[in-house]
A and B are shown apart, each in its own frame.
Chain A
Amino acid sequence: MKTMEVRLHVNGEPKQWTIAPGDLLLDVLRREGYFGVKRGCEAGECGACTVLVGGKPINSCLMFAAQAEGAEVLTIEGLAHGGKLDPLQEAFLDHGAVQCGFCTPAMILNAKALLNRNPHPSEDEVREALAGTFCRCTGFRKPVEAVLAAARGSGR
């Protein structure tokens, strides 16, 4: 098997990994221990594999790892700082927006990208940001409430 090197930052830390030219970013991130990046449909439908690349949410199942050369990647593991959860994570807990948890990392990362560029989104804007991530447990109401609460800064 032919291999190549890829250099990138994951959650602020510089990484250099040996990959196969056809490796997908999803597979490499999970191989390296970022299990918050979920393997779902592997066809860009369910959104469970969402990570932020350069601050933008993308489906890591559709991106070749080699395309992440030089990129800043953020996974759910990089959101808390010094043991302190991100306000979005707190809001998801407070609103009971997590059931099985499989879609939660993707929901929170999509919401994070939204709030970074639009700190006070409307409910419609929140719904659009979450629409690319499928939840098959709680539905979308509680996640939407959680994101709106985090945007209000109350977390409640």
Chain B
Amino acid sequence: MFDTVEAFYRPDTVREALRLLQNGKNRARVVAGGTDLVVEGDRSIRVLIDITRAGLSYIRRKGKACVIGATTTMATIENSPAIRALAGGTLARAAATCGSVQIRNMATLGGNLANGSPAADTATPLLALDAEVVLADARGRRRIPLTEFYSGPRKTKTLIVEVAIPVPPRGARWSFQKLGRTEDDISLVNAAAGLQLDSKGRAKWVRIALGAVAPTPIRAVNAEKLLLGRKVDRSALAQVCDEVEREVRPITDVRASAEYRREMCRVLVRRALEECAAGTGCSL
């Protein structure tokens, strides 16, 4: 299938990877787990640059943030004690749904984001966690919020080297909800929520993120604002879900209709906020 590929490189530094990427112009592609790139089968690729040996597989603490190297696999993330302990394990739970055991041993966090799929399962919890991505090019590295990373479906920017997750608000509760045909299938809709309550049980900090219901993974910022300062009761949840419905822009495709996806946004966001409000954490 890839008989047009003329060279395969395995750089051991990011600097070398960037140099190869620049030399290859638009005919060079970065590969890590390969689980999207190979299936895509793009015949214009002449040069492949495997970044899995470039020192980007790690999970560590940097200052107060938790940073994850771009080539860290889903299997590593779902099994990492640090990630399982972070935000009720919401990111670990999402990583554990990214395909079969074999896929999760190959697929990487950076790849899940760089592929630019609106249904990327790790993007939703990362949006709820206010994650940032560290990008690298010939001029250096810069860090941008994940919300600025996406410009459209399958449109993403340059090489991701790291994902940084700031310390979540104290006492916040979390949920990740996914609807697919099976546990490890691609999402028809997914949702992540984070909720911090004040001493009177009112929402002090709210994050609501959704996947597969817009050109990119999104945060439902109007719905978040609506809940701020209010008690998380049945009527508040109904209004939040109405707002979510207005914020999403789902499409009809082979997997589900736009109408069905819109309805499921309500269901998943309600479940997510109920799980947060119940304070049971994110069940792994």
Q: Which residues of A contact B (CB under 8 A)?
A: 1-2, 4, 20-24, 42-44, 47, 50, 56-59, 61-64, 66-67, 69, 110, 113, 128-129, 131-133
Contact = CB atoms under 8 A, between A and B. Distances in A.
Contacts of A47: 100, 102
Nearest to B185: A45
B7 interface: yes
B101 A21 contact: no
A62 B5 contact: no
Interface residues of B, number: 30
A132 B99 contact: yes
A24 B105 contact: no
A61 B7 CA distance: 19
A66 B48 CA distance: 10
B230 interface: no
24 contacts: A2-B6, A21-B7, A22-B2, A24-B1, A44-B35, A50-B102, A58-B102, A58-B106, A59-B103, A62-B35, A62-B39, A63-B38, A64-B34, A64-B38, A67-B34, A67-B50, A110-B101, A128-B101, A129-B101, A131-B100, A131-B101, A131-B184, A132-B103, A132-B184
A44 B186 CA distance: 13
B260 interface: no
Q: Which of B31, B35, B105, B182 has the most CB of A within 10 A?
A: B105
Given A63-B34, A131-B184, A24 B101 contact: no
A110 B75 CA distance: 14
Contacts of B39: 43-44, 62
A51 to B, nearest CB: 9
B148 interface: no
